[in-house]
Structure 1
């Protein structure tokens, strides 16, 4: 395999910067795959998957707890037919070189699940204004089922991470890849495989590694990913590399043998996953943003159940410099279940 196994982690050490923030979860009901970014203008911006799988909306608020009631605008809708006409999933909005980019997943009207990566671009300072232009498909090097793109920059280099079915794969499994970007719309060089489903907890109902998210801290690059079916079995795994290492070398990465965040009967939260990372405004506390459901059993296909809600909680840090996500916290309020 292209990674080594991560050793058992050390005991918890909590931040001395003050009490960790407590969030009024769920922050937004019926919004899955949440991506939150705190920008220099003082706003938190949220993009997420709507349960109808038909549009992309952007929300913003100065307080993360208020993101559900903040400004909101639908900035793009699916096409009536052809490409980008179905399965509008997992939008992520990033500010790169003075422009906004939304990376998202979409299928065709004649093949809703034959999905690929696409990009929107906006020159406006405020992404709720201006024009979002379609910049086409983000090519990964081979044409096969692809989703869940994210991007980050480190030491002057920008990287794309995404999920894709491996070339010439003889089974319906997904893996996580990384490549360097030469523009916000393209990658250069071959993709590097970071992780494939290996452990039993990554293969429940479906062999899935998907939805990478990046946290750079304590001299390391932590990449979380989601595994298994999108029901109560959904859970976060993690691969780690030294920030000074060659991130395009698969041998630079280690993989945790167990999930780092999973369902909790004690708190009544099930299927936590497809996360992103942000911080408090002062930058002193790291925050895990994710979706989960408030019940375990789902009749039928879990992708047709709309009640994956956006949640957040503070991250603790161990003595060895690795994150401890704990367990998904209980709701502060009863979530609504009506479609929005």
Structure 2
């Protein structure tokens, strides 16, 4: 068995760790005398915001989380819901908030359970085998403590959601929390003081409880909530090759090189995953062309992308088109009045490539500034750039699309059409100028149909924040929607409404039978983070209920040292099949938004891992490899 610590954190400030982040459930696994924090010491469970009739959100946080095993497997979580900054939430008076989880990674919020009429200060719970029900103990603000027995449908007999608020206790009584003989004493596993000593190495930790979990569960948590690390490489033991007698030396060398080119290394990681890596073989030894068994040496190829690869370039996007790579990004250096493109033969070559002006704010009527978030997308074999622009005011920002002419050169501005505003299926405006804006539109093909997802924000009559919308796209006219827009996601977690209520920057990432859509959230400062939505193949993308939203961010200012406010991702696949993440971050809390490139890894469930640095991806000690080459 392993011990799992459940804790919240003390807020640091509004730059590095706000209350909306600190007042969430964090996890740590015991290693020796101390606990090791998971998820970069960031929260994994956040309270959902409540929604008003007009669609606006009330941000929420949680305190005093308590994990307890369920009767039929999995776990329940009980906590006190509070307002975003930790203030009392009147709608939660006398209540606790409940969740269930099967793996301690993905959670389902069930709702509030009414316990009494006074504010709840703390809560503890467990399954009571003797009575076949759940025992809940809590303390009120008045200082009085209670315990109650609740039927199994408090959480659902098998962890399925019931009408939690209507669940009535079987028995309730007042208890003395200091009496070790009562049921509360049975629940208490360790004193706060003892947990505090064991968690002393965790910055800002406020321990709440520790629970024993199985070794397999602990292993899964490590795989999901710690960044994988390269622990070895494998190469074929030998490769056999028969060379024709009539070949000259050049032809023989080419044949050997071709045979070796298909021999890749497999990098292994501590979570059981792996990745194929290209090897650059050394063929300078002329004896390799002679019959016999030779030892050939090589070095595993590891592209170098030192952050930042481009200063003052945000929302970067890279595509591979007709054998070349192209880079485009928001230009923060001139307050977003121009878009420049880079062209190179290799992905690495983009870092030194010349920038070529593609679009400015004076050439076309209606394109007056705020040229934001350009993205390359292929639709029916043609290349397009989706981007946002305004004729002038911020409140008139809208999504546009440009088309590359047939046979055109992406690096030639004359080969691109004038930007065209995205419209609804009937040709009407997507947004009402001055009231609503749209931006960050992305496009993708899934199961034979084209879709777009974008960020849209209503300012009048009330600022509702930026929400994600989805619609089908007409591929014959990719500036026209083929269906009415549907709300896909709102910034309802604390990490998404931190500093501002924003979800934006969506980008599709198909992985096997699942479609991931990563998106960014919060303000474009150090609070900026990345999370994702995911849906399975065969399900209707236009039904919000078919999507699962991850309950914690997968990329934050804590993920990679020296990179703050990381977000706005896009993806490109290179010629070897590797998927690369282009993103922006700040090189310092006050640094300018700048572009980075990093390989996308995939965890044991196929979910994207975006914080694997080059050293974790492939350790230098494993790069030099050898293999037997048998020439026959």
Q: What TM bracket, shorter-length normalisation? A: 0.7 to 0.9
Flag the 1:177–1:167 CA change in 2: closer, same or farther, 3 A.
farther
Answer 1 or 2: higher relative contact order, Cα 8 Å, separation at least 6: 1
Flag the 1:5–1:263 CA change in 2: closer, same or farther, 3 A.
farther
Flag the 1:237–1:77 CA change in 2: closer, same or farther, 3 A.
same
Of 386, 405, 415 in structure 2, the residue corresponding to residue 131 of structure 1 is: 415
Flag the 1:275–1:169 CA change in 2: closer, same or farther, 3 A.
farther
Larger Rg, first or second structure (1 or 2):
2
Q: Which runs of 5+ in 1 are unaligned?
A: 299-304, 331-340
- The alpha-carbon deviation at position 62 of structure 1 amounts to 2.1
Of 260, 279, 294 in structure 1, the residue corresponding to residue 587 of structure 2 is: 294
Of 318, 330, 345 in structure 2, the residue corresponding to residue 36 of structure 1 is: 318
Conservation of the 8 A alpha-carbon contact between 2:566 and 2:586: yes
Flag the 1:20–1:246 CA change in 2: closer, same or farther, 3 A.
farther
Flag the 1:208–1:328 CA change in 2: closer, same or farther, 3 A.
farther
Flag the 1:179–1:5 CA change in 2: closer, same or farther, 3 A.
farther
Determine if the alignment matches structure 1 residue 321 to structure 2 residue 606. Answer: yes
Q: Please identify, of 205-214 and 318-327, the stretch whose mean Cα deviation from structure 2 is larger.
A: 318-327
- The alpha-carbon deviation at position 100 of structure 1 amounts to 2.5
Determine if the alignment matches structure 1 residue 311 to structure 2 residue 311. Answer: no
Of 350, 353, 368 in structure 2, the residue corresponding to residue 70 of structure 1 is: 353
- The alpha-carbon deviation at position 43 of structure 1 amounts to 1.5
Flag the 1:87–1:179 CA change in 2: closer, same or farther, 3 A.
same
Q: What residue in structure 1 maps to residue 470 of structure 2?
A: 178
Q: Equivalent residues in 2 for 1:264-303 (5 A)?
A: 264=558, 267-283=561-577, 285-296=578-589, 298=590
Q: Equivalent residues in 2 for 1:9-158 (5 A)?
A: 10=220, 11=223, 12-18=271-277, 21-25=302-306, 26-39=308-321, 41-51=322-332, 52=334, 53-79=336-362, 83-109=366-392, 111-123=393-405, 124-129=407-412, 130-140=414-424, 141-143=430-432, 144-158=436-450
Q: Which runs of 5+ in 2 are unaligned?
A: 1-47, 49-98, 107-219, 224-270, 278-299, 425-429, 616-632
Q: What residue in structure 2 maps to residue 214 of structure 1?
A: 508
Q: Which string of whole-angstrom CA distances, capped at 9 and with x for unpartnered residues, describes residues 159-193 of structure 1?
A: 11111025977324001111101131111111122
Determine helix, strand or coil for the equivalent of 1:67.
helix
TM-score (norm 2): 0.47
Determine if the alignment matches structure 1 residue 160 to structure 2 residue 445. Answer: no
Q: Which structure is higher in strand share?
A: 1
Conservation of the 8 A alpha-carbon contact between 1:272 and 1:328: no
Q: Which string of whole-angstrom CA distances, capped at 9 and with x for unpartnered residues, describes residues 183-230 of structure 1?
A: 311111111222110111111211000010110012111001111110
Flag the 1:81–1:71 CA change in 2: closer, same or farther, 3 A.
closer
Q: Distance in 2 between matches of 1:230 and 1:288?
A: 18
